[in-house]
Structure 1
């Protein structure tokens, strides 16, 4: 009976340790995300400013409409396009 009690206590200590470590990982992850969102500016604001000042080349509106329609069709209207990049080949 002593072996079973020791095994159960080790099991309890191990599971508690894992639970605490996972909780710390989630807490630290959320903290990093909030810090990043608060203090590091988003690239999308820079892109919007480039378009407003005329520094960026406009993309073909027909292609943008096609991409938006495809995303809406696939996601059922829940998808959101934040940025479209041209891939150079």
Structure 2
């Protein structure tokens, strides 16, 4: 259930532009699983979560491919932060 929620948010954001290429493929599976781990570790603020989400995308795509503004990542983190992980 949590996977589907996070996937929906990340796919709508589509920070690398992969979903438009093939909407049926699970492009961000690895990153989504990493984000779920973050959400389950109870980050205290959306800002803190955003920093870690950003680092995940930089780790897997490097900073030349992932070049979204931090404010955009923070907007996504605020949405992710509302997900109930229980």
- Which TM-score band applies after superposition, normalised by the shorter structure? under 0.3
Give TM-score scaled by structure 1 length: 0.26
More helix by share: 1
Larger Rg: 1
Query: Greater relative contact order: 1 or 2 (C-alpha under 8 angstroms, separation 6 or more)?
Result: 2
Give TM-score scaled by structure 2 length: 0.27
